[in-house]
């Protein structure tokens, strides 16, 4: 049922969002040189690598000019990119990843290989399911870039503090996963995008 749901919803959403894709693509091209889409290698179900798709929000070849982590105020982020990131519009191309079967609408967010290898034993369990566009961690850490901007070493803080919390939340999602739970998380994600001040509550804290 989950795969059928993903197929129907991703196809419907892509048809509906074609005009938004066109506008976003035009604004990206007018703002800075470079491709419209950004592709980054992530680790998917059963450790199979794939390329996640996003609208490009940074200068061209940004991943060669800094960390995989993006903190608030990162000079690599473009003017249009800043808006796309705040509104989460940059994530919409992942509907194509869902259509291809590389991702699901709901599931643990996919990580880059270097971080997966650090917590390999945890991902042995997490990567039994498809990664998703949204999950509990996406709701909990929606302002992740703001949090990282306050740290002297954002990448170290991400690896040592944020990522372990995301792993706990991923495990929690897998334990409670169901069709209705996925629907709930999709609705909460939409609500969070529409109302950014909304705070999702769960039992995981940064000090937990």
| pLDDT tens digits for range 26-50 | 999 999 999 999 999 999 999 999 9
Instruction: Check whether 203 has a pLDDT greater than 50.
Output: no
Q: Which single residue is written with the structure tokens 């995301």?
A: 166
Contact residues for 81 (Cβ-Cβ < 8 A; gap 6+): 28, 31, 55, 56, 57, 58, 90
Portion of the chain with pLDDT greater than 70, in percent? 93
d(CA 98, CA 76): 28
CA–CA distance, 38 with 50 (Å, rounded to integer): 13
Give the integer Cα–Cα distance in Å for 183 and 206: 26
| pLDDT at residue 205 in the model | 43
Residue 203, token pair as written in the block:
């039992």
- The mean per-residue pLDDT over the stretch 118-135 comes to 96
Q: Structure pTM?
A: 0.88
Q: Judge whether 103 and 51 are in contact, CB under 8 Å.
A: no
Q: Which of 61, 205, 41, 207 is nearest to 115 (CA)?
A: 41
Number of neighbouring beta carbons within 10 Å of residue 203: 8
Q: pLDDT band at residue 141, thresholds of 50, 70 and 90? A: confident
Q: How far apart are CA 120 and CA 114, in angstroms?
A: 10
CA atoms of 111 and 96, how far apart (whole Å) = 18
């Amino acid at each position: 049922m989950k795969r059928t749901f993903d197929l129907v919803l991703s196809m419907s959403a892509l048809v509906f969002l074609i005009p938004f894709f066109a506008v976003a693509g035009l604004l990206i091209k007018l703002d800075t040189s470079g491709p419209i889409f950004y592709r980054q290698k992530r680790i998917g179900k059963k450790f199979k690598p794939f390329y996640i798709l996003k609208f490009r929000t940074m200068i061209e070849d940004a991943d060669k000019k800094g960390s995989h982590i993006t903190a608030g105020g990162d000079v690599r982020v473009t003017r249009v990119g800043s808006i796309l990131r705040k509104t989460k519009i940059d994530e919409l191309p992942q509907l194509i990843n869902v259509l291809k079967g590389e991702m699901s609408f709901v599931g643990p967010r996919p990580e880059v290989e270097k971080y997966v290898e650090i917590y390999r034993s945890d991902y042995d369990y997490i990567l039994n399911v498809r990664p998703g566009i949204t999950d509990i961690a996406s709701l909990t850490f929606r302002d992740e870039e703001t949090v990282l901007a306050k740290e002297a070493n954002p990448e170290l803080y991400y690896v040592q503090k944020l990522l372990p919390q995301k792993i706990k939340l991923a495990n929690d999602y897998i334990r409670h996963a169901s069709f209705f739970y996925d629907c709930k998380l999709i609705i909460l994600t939409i609500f969070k995008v529409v109302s950014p001040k909304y705070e999702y509550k769960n039992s995981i804290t940064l000090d937990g």
